[in-house]
Each structure stands twice: as C-alpha cells, then as structure tokens.
Amino acid sequence: MSITPLRPRAGANSPDGPPVRLVTPGAQNAAGMQDDNALFRAVVMPHIDEAYRLARWLTANGTDAEDVVQDASLRAFRAIRSYAGGNPRAWVLSIVRNTAYSWLHKNRPATIVSVDDLEAVELEHAKPDERRDDTPEASLIAKVDAEQLRAAIAKLPAPFRETLVLRDIEGLDYREIAEATEVPIGTVMSRLARARRRLLETLRQDE
C-alpha cells in the first residue's frame, strides 16, 4: 500500500474483520470524491431554490435560469475545495451571479453591461431620480399587480436589480450581498437606495 490515508477509513480495514479490499490509490480518489460530494451537498444543494430565483431574475427566463444553475453547480463543485467555510449562501450566489453574467455575455451580449460602464450607468440612472421633486402618495403602488411589479424589477439595470432582489426578495443582509456581488457594503447601500427609488418611480408611472 503506497498511500496512507490521512483520514482512517474506519471499518474498511478493521483488524479482525474478514477480507476486505485494501485501500489503493484508486480508492483514495474515490474517498476524495465522496468528501467533495458531501461538501457539495452540505454547502450548495440547500441553496438551489435561491440560486434558481437569482438566475431567473438575471436572465429573465426560466429555462435559461436552469441552465445557469446547472453550470454554476458544476463550477461550485469544481471549486468546492476552495470554499473556505464562510457564508455558504453568499458563496453559492456569487458563483451563480458570475455564471449568469458569463452566460449573458456569451448568449445575449447586447444586454450585458460591462464593469467599466457600471459607474456611468449608476450616475446616468441616478440623475432623473435627483431631478424628481414629487412625493406621490404611497397608496398609489398598492394597486400594482404581480406582473407590473415583476416587469418593473426586470427593467432595473443589473447591478441595481441583483442588489434589490438579494435584499428585498431573498432577505440577505448587507454583508452577504456585498460578498455575493463582490462590492463594498457602501456600494450595496447606495445601489439598494437607488434601486428602490427607481422601482417606486416606475411603479408610479405605471399607474
């Protein structure tokens, strides 16, 4: 036996046990796969619903979202050994998000906003917000139906949309959102405020 397992495989080689297979390098790989599978199931599988919903908000399509989640799961599985024990949900969602953007970049290049343009987008979209000086009655939005609301969220630029979805739909806290979207908490806060204001504005216009 050339390789000594780091973790004793209890039972597999019990001294007084009847003939069992010795641990060979091949078996060692199999054990490694089992560990990866166990880790994957503990870290990734509990968050498939959230992953699917985020992918759906980012791709605006259920079938595409399923593809993205499958690709993201594979990426997560390949990277599972680099998972450092942080917040599993934020880790999984950050992979889903990156996968969704690569997917959009490849399949719908027209819809994707590059990182360089991001700041410009934020400024551009911030402007009309600042110009508005009305404070419409809040009760106006109470009549908004699910379809209108969904369409209005879908219209938000991606950085605003993902931040709003993660907070107001998925209920992540700011730290988790910062982790999942890979930006500082200050950016999460300003994107969230802008996203909510823009959304309210669109919903009022719908009325």
Applying the rule CB under 8 A, the residues between 132 and 191 that interact with other proteins are 132-139, 141-142, 144-146, 149-150, 167-169, 173-174, 189-190
Are 95 and 72 contacting, i.e. CB atoms less than 8 angstroms apart? yes
Nearer to other proteins, 48 or 112 (CB): 48
- Smallest separation (angstroms) from other proteins to the CB of 109: 26
Please tell me the count of residues contacting other proteins according to CB under 8 A. 84
Helix axis angle, 25-43 to 88-107, nearest 10°: 90
Which residue lies nearer to other proteins by CB, 51 or 90? 51
**Amino acid code (one letter) for 156:** L
- Report the C-alpha gap between 59 and 61 in whole angstroms: 5
Nearer to other proteins, 35 or 117 (CB): 35
102 by Cβ neighbours in 10 Å (0-12 / 13-18 / 19+) ranks as middle
Residue 41 Cα to chain centre, angstroms: 17
Distance CA 170, CA 55 (A): 12
Can residue 35 be called a binding residue for other proteins (CB under 8 A)?
yes
The answer to whether residue 33 forms part of the interface with other proteins (CB under 8 A) is yes
Contact between 2 and other proteins per CB under 8 A: no
Name the amino acid, one letter, at 155.
K
Measured from the CB of residue 30, what is the shortest distance to other proteins in angstroms?
5
* CA–CA separation, 161 and 181 (whole Å): 11
**Contact range with other proteins by CB under 8 A, out of 45-53, 97-105, 109-117:** 45-53
Residue 41 found at the interface with other proteins (CB under 8 A) = yes
- Judging by beta carbons within 10 Å of its beta carbon (0-12, 13-18, 19+), is residue 152 exposed, middle or buried? buried
What sections of 44-169 are H helices per DSSP? 48-59, 62-78, 88-107, 115-131, 146-155, 158-164
Is position 130 an interface residue for other proteins (rule: CB under 8 A)? yes
Q: By CB under 8 A, is residue 116 in contact with other proteins?
A: no
Q: Which of residues 52-111 bind other proteins (CB under 8 A)?
A: 52-53, 56, 62, 66, 69-70, 73-74, 77-78, 80-81, 83-85, 88
Among 112, 113, 183, 193, binds other proteins (CB under 8 A): 193
